[in-house]
Amino acid sequence: MSQSTLLLVEVGVLLLALGLLSRLANRFGISAIPLFLVAGLAFGHGGALPLSASEEFFHTGSEIGVILLLLLLGLEYTAGELVQSLSRSRMAGLLDACLNALPGAAFALLLGWGPVAAVALAGVTWVSSSGVIAGMLRDLGRLGNRETPTILSVLVIEDLAMAFYLPVLAAVVVGAGLVQGLTTLVIAAAAVVAILYLALRHGRVVSSLFSASHPESLLLGVLGLTILVAGLAQQVNVSAAVGAFLVGIALSGQVAHAAEELLTPLRDLFAAIFFVFFGLATDPADILPVLVPAAVLAVASIATKVLTGYLAAKRAGMGIPGRWRTGLALTPRGEFSIVIAGLAVGAGVEPQLAPLATAYVLITVVAGPLLSRIPDSQWFRAAVRRRGDALRAAAR
């Protein structure tokens, strides 16, 4: 069999398998991310059916997947919403960073991986998965709940913080000096501020480059602009993902809405390839030694994320059920955690970081939707009522 034929067969088999896994996940009401990671492990180095001819294809596809993930994430927010979220929930964002980045950093240092791995693992445990959480809220019928704006505010702040964190991480993992690191951060900050300014003041001008009524030109134009900006961002040591995120923010109105509808299927395709490639690059045998540490880290960081959401919802005036729903909804980690781990491992940081991150994301993505159903259970509601009755009795 020729190399090109083998490539087509491998890609076809894997995409077909992903389609079946996605349908299975949808049937059971769970995220498909853990199944995609497991598929990558099965077909990757050390897996049951290792693929060879298609590895380069999936590597390129995974890079496009990251760009599309962040572009679509940016399209969900306007610059005004970002500014409003920052002003309304800045304390919740700071609390979120402190409570959830510190466990990852401390864990890496306890394992003896060093400060660079600590910076990377801090990001892995810090950021929740916007994609998984949005789907979870939709599946649970909570998009109209009072606590949902608080959840979204925390996610928006985390996503925006990544625009500053990823360039710093990129500079750290390549061993850049203090001057180069500060230069990278200044460039990233300037890019974020400039694009936010353009989006706030001149968003219509940027959006006028495209026509919402012409799908073909809109698809090609937005995709081309995004990949171009992502490439230029990477050229100046700013993450390509951040560049894509900022393009999404800059687009507004009907253009943003139409682009989101057109690009969502592409995003789903290449995002699946992204998660599969991360699994392909990880040897399943490497996961076993870090499975217990990953479970310990997952338990610790799930607890800190629940505390983050609980306190943020309490500050927003939510009742006890809403506080628990907020905290438990924020527990899944996903796309950003994998991006961060991939960036660090690709630069030669601690090799065990990849299998640890894979196991960690698997645990949190599976546990998150299950935990989020607890506040809707009868025993939980009964416990809340009993506690409320006890507090009222004590007040009398």
223 closest CA partner among 204, 252, 251, 201: 251
- Alpha-carbon distance 58 to 124, whole Å? 23
More confident residue, 342 or 297: 297
Asked whether 273 and 281 are in contact (CB, 8 A), the reply is: no
Residue 292 has what pLDDT? 92
Percent of the chain whose pLDDT exceeds 70: 84
Average pLDDT, the chain: 81
Question: 379-389: buried (b, 16+ CB within 10 Å) or exposed (e) per residue?
Answer: eeeeeeeeeee
Delineate the domains of the chain, giving CATH numbers in brackets: 70-276+285-388 (1.20.1530.20)
Per DSSP, 213 falls in state T
The region, left, alpha or beta by phi > 0 then psi within -120 to 50, assigned to residue 346 is alpha
> Mean pLDDT across the stretch 171-195?
68
More confident residue, 262 or 46: 262
Start-end of H helices in the chain:
3-28, 33-43, 55-75, 79-110, 115-126, 130-139, 148-173, 178-207, 215-235, 240-250, 253-280, 284-287, 291-315, 320-329, 335-346, 353-372, 378-395
> Mean pLDDT across the stretch 271-275?
79
N-term to C-term CA, the chain: 82
> Mean pLDDT across the stretch 275-292?
80
> Mean pLDDT across the stretch 193-197?
71
**Where residue 180 falls among pLDDT bands split at 50, 70, 90?**
low
Residue 300 has what pLDDT? 95
Residue 39 has what pLDDT? 84
More confident residue, 242 or 61: 61
**Where residue 106 falls among pLDDT bands split at 50, 70, 90?**
very high
**Where residue 81 falls among pLDDT bands split at 50, 70, 90?**
low
Residue-wise pLDDT for 338-384, tens only, equals: 888 887 877 777 888 888 988 898 889 888 888 888 888 888 888 87
- Model confidence at 176: pLDDT above 60: no
More confident residue, 340 or 167: 340
> Mean pLDDT across the stretch 250-277?
83
Residue 391 has what pLDDT? 67
| Contacts of 343 by beta carbon, 8 Å cutoff, 6+ apart | 120, 166, 169, 170, 173, 239
> Mean pLDDT across the stretch 99-110?
93
Residue-wise pLDDT for 303-348, tens only, equals: 999 999 999 998 888 888 889 999 999 998 877 788 888 878 777 7
Residues comprising the chain, all counted: 396
Identify the sign of the CA torsion 48, 51, 52, 57. negative
Residue 389 has what pLDDT? 67
Residue 280 has what pLDDT? 77
- Alpha-carbon distance 70 to 38, whole Å? 23
More confident residue, 161 or 128: 128
Query: Two tokens at 67?
Result: 């760009």
CA distances from 203 to 153, 225, 242 (A): 22, 15, 18
Highest average pLDDT, of 27-36, 141-150, 198-207, 261-270, comes from: 261-270
Residue 34 has what pLDDT? 79
Counting runs of H as helices and runs of E as strands, what totals does the chain give? 17, 0
